[in-house]
Structure 1
Amino acid sequence: MTVSIKEIARICGVSIGTVDRALNNRPGINPKTKEKILQVAKEKNYRPDYRAQSLVKGKTKTIGVVLFDLQNRSFALLMNAIESELRKSGYSLHLALTDKDKEKEIESINYLIDRKVDGIILFSVNQGNGFNKFLQSFDVPIVTIFNHVSDQWHHIGVKEREAMLDAVKHTIKKGYKRFVFICPPLSLLGKVNIYTQHERLKGFIDGLSEYNLLDNHLIIEEKDYLEKVAEFKFLRNEKTAILCTCDFHALEVMKFLKEHQVNIPAEVGIMGFDNIDVLKYVEPQLTTVEYPIEEIGISAVQSLVNKLENGIFPSVPLLNYRIIPGESI
């Protein structure tokens, strides 16, 4: 059993308030007294009673995170960054996974609120006025990441539209004449929040429009996207670029084309989006768009902690990206 603050005060011959100042690094205490208190606390294996502190302060020092799943390697990196940054700031983590289900997301948020989290980091599949009113019913600061919900919420995101626009320009400059855009989540447009994917679609259209190439493209939004790729007529005299909104889809397409003896990149170029770490094992090396996934997690935590401890959200502009040239384009 660990020693209490009251017991440390008795051993050191000081008041409980003096012990509290020493343990929490507050001013108004003699340095030698502070040193003595900290030494006793260490020897007696003192550990703070967070449950008691939460009752007194009305804070639990916990943050809730609502995420789709951890199957995407990028999400795993995101969660590592969030957990590490929370720990540095003295907070712990409650994670809720929704499997991209709107009702599960509502249940997850209620679950976190019931457990008195101090704030929530939300990667949402919900949207609209009803959802906004639902979030507003809680007196808890919320930071949205990736999928924008509304301007009412502090948001951390990436220049998605610009990133895909530059991806299209990159393929055009490499001599590709026809373009395929693969994004299965687009089949859910209007049903769930797919803000990031929709922004990437806009960037794809922007790029083709800028070069007057809108007549030479195909958008594939079906889950069985490989079947649609198989139906597409690749022309040897008109190189085709396939742009995917995540590296996983790009790798699946690459595998499929290899199996059908399609030359990459001479006949068909492939471009991904994420720059997941397993790409270093892939041949030909995948050309992709990299965005700062860990920085998104860190910025979300820092913004939320600043709001909790200083009362304001800092201004955070949309984060940047970069094209990672490979051998597939």
Structure 2
Amino acid sequence: MTVTIYDVAREAGVSMATVSRVVNNNPNVKPATRKKVYEAIERLGYRPNAVARGLASKKTTTVGVVIPDISNAIFAEVARGIEDIANMYHYNIILCNADKRKDKEIRVINTLLEKQVDGLLFMGGAVTDEHMQAFKTANVPIVLCATTDENGDIPSVDINHEEAAYDAVRKLIELGHTRIAMISGTLQDPANGYSRFQGYKRALEEAGIPYDESLVRIGNYRYESGADAMKYFIELSERPTAVFSATDEMAIGAIHSIQDNGLKVPEDISVISVDNSRMASMVRPQLTAVAQPMYDIGAVSMRLLTKLMKKESVEQSKVVLPHEIIVRQSVGGLSK
């Protein structure tokens, strides 16, 4: 049978109010009494009923997190940052995988709100009208993590994706490359897709390099799509001397495709990406990448959410974190 607070009170020889104060860390309990209650709890195996406590306080100390792809190491790093700060502020996490599907994202958001979470962190692609409608029905704070909404109405934490892509392509241009291809994410994705594509185009334009539609392929962020795109580039009558990939995983697919076709990185084709996941230093040659501070994005998002949940003052609700290029062995100067 379930052990109740009444059982603990009887075992310890105290009132139920005293047990409640001990369980809720109320300081107004004598050390000897507190010790006696803890001993009774341990003997009986009592666990406080979180649902009942939540109903009484109208707080569940639980945060819902919507993650696009739980198998992606990048999002795992964000989740780690979220979890560490959540633990620090005594919140529990419900992590839900949405498979980068809008219909599932909406369903998961509504499910988490039905679970009476105290706040919601949303990691995903485009924030559509359907997402906004779901957010508007929520009576809890929401923070966008590693993405933003078009109008900036919802608090968010991210990097400047266009600037990150611009810096990556500028690096290749500075090394003498002019025939630069891009493996992009879907252009419906405002961050990993459209913004990074815009950064690529802007870098070319500023350097006076004509945009060539044949040098852009749309991938799905997966290794295989990067490999397929690279195979297409290699088969062009004039192949590119450098490739910018919107993500590490597609970049690694591109590197392996180059090598499978008897070419070398960076001697024949340089490769650079955005992300700087752990995989970037595992591939050979190691991948040069623009580093997103993924752990920090998660941690800052969770800290912002705790402030909103506690109704504390927030100086900045739209946070843009810095990025940097981590130079490794996958890029080189163009041979004369």
Confirm or deny a common fold (TM above 0.5): yes
Residue 234 of structure 2 is matched in structure 1 by: 230
Q: Is the 8 A contact 2:248 2:279 kept in 1?
A: no
The answer as to 2:82 corresponding to 1:82 is: yes
Judged with a 3 Å threshold, the aligned counterparts in structure 2 of structure 1 residues 309 and 4 are, in CA distance, closer, same or farther, namely: farther
Residue 98 of structure 2 is matched in structure 1 by: 98
Displacement after TM superposition at 1:35 (Å): 4.3
Residue 120 of structure 2 is matched in structure 1 by: 120
The answer as to 2:330 corresponding to 1:328 is: yes
Residue 195 of structure 1 is matched in structure 2 by: 191
Instruction: Report the TM-score when normalising by structure 1.
Output: 0.85
Residue 221 of structure 1 is matched in structure 2 by: 218
Q: Is the 8 A contact 1:279 1:285 kept in 2?
A: yes
Q: Is the 8 A contact 1:2 1:47 kept in 2?
A: no
Displacement after TM superposition at 1:71 (Å): 2.8
Displacement after TM superposition at 1:69 (Å): 1.8
Judged with a 3 Å threshold, the aligned counterparts in structure 2 of structure 1 residues 214 and 36 are, in CA distance, closer, same or farther, namely: farther
Residue 334 of structure 2 is matched in structure 1 by: none
Q: Is the 8 A contact 1:304 1:313 kept in 2?
A: no
**SS state of the match for residue 185, structure 1?**
coil
**SS state of the match for residue 296, structure 1?**
helix
**SS state of the match for residue 144, structure 2?**
strand
Judged with a 3 Å threshold, the aligned counterparts in structure 2 of structure 1 residues 268 and 126 are, in CA distance, closer, same or farther, namely: closer
Q: Is the 8 A contact 2:18 2:29 kept in 1?
A: yes
Distance 1:167 1:315 in 2: 28
Residue 147 of structure 2 is matched in structure 1 by: 147
Displacement after TM superposition at 1:183 (Å): 0.6
Judged with a 3 Å threshold, the aligned counterparts in structure 2 of structure 1 residues 143 and 107 are, in CA distance, closer, same or farther, namely: same
Residue 222 of structure 2 is matched in structure 1 by: none
Distance 1:281 1:118 in 2: 39
Distance 2:157 2:34 in 1: 41
Post-superposition CA distance 1:124-145 (Å, at most 9, x none): 3453445323320121221112
CA RMSD of aligned residues (A): 2.7
Residue 209 of structure 1 is matched in structure 2 by: 205
Judged with a 3 Å threshold, the aligned counterparts in structure 2 of structure 1 residues 253 and 115 are, in CA distance, closer, same or farther, namely: same
Post-superposition CA distance 1:135-181 (Å, at most 9, x none): 20121221112221242211111122222222122212222222111
Distance 2:4 2:61 in 1: 20
Instruction: Report the TM-score when normalising by structure 2.
Output: 0.84
Judged with a 3 Å threshold, the aligned counterparts in structure 2 of structure 1 residues 155 and 252 are, in CA distance, closer, same or farther, namely: same
Tell me which amino acid in the other structure corresponds to 1:208: L
Judged with a 3 Å threshold, the aligned counterparts in structure 2 of structure 1 residues 25 and 290 are, in CA distance, closer, same or farther, namely: same
Q: How does 1:293-308 map to 2 (within 5 A)?
A: 293-308=294-309
Distance 2:326 2:206 in 1: 22
Q: Is the 8 A contact 1:146 1:196 kept in 2?
A: no
Distance 1:28 1:113 in 2: 35
Distance 1:131 1:263 in 2: 44
**SS state of the match for residue 272, structure 1?**
strand
Q: Is the 8 A contact 2:86 2:302 kept in 1?
A: yes
Residue 286 of structure 1 is matched in structure 2 by: 287
**SS state of the match for residue 323, structure 1?**
strand
Q: How does 1:26-41 map to 2 (within 5 A)?
A: 26-41=26-41
Residue 247 of structure 1 is matched in structure 2 by: 248
Q: How does 1:60-79 map to 2 (within 5 A)?
A: 60-79=60-79
Structure 1 portions without partners, runs of 5+:
none
Distance 2:8 2:173 in 1: 71
Tell me which amino acid in the other structure corresponds to 2:59: K
Tell me which amino acid in the other structure corresponds to 1:241: A
Aligned length: 321
Q: Is the 8 A contact 1:177 1:216 kept in 2?
A: no
The answer as to 2:242 corresponding to 1:259 is: no
Tell me which amino acid in the other structure corresponds to 2:324: R
Distance 1:25 1:15 in 2: 16
Tell me which amino acid in the other structure corresponds to 2:218: E
The answer as to 2:176 corresponding to 1:172 is: no
**SS state of the match for residue 273, structure 1?**
strand
Displacement after TM superposition at 1:323 (Å): 0.9
Residue 319 of structure 1 is matched in structure 2 by: 321
Tell me which amino acid in the other structure corresponds to 1:323: I
Tell me which amino acid in the other structure corresponds to 1:302: R
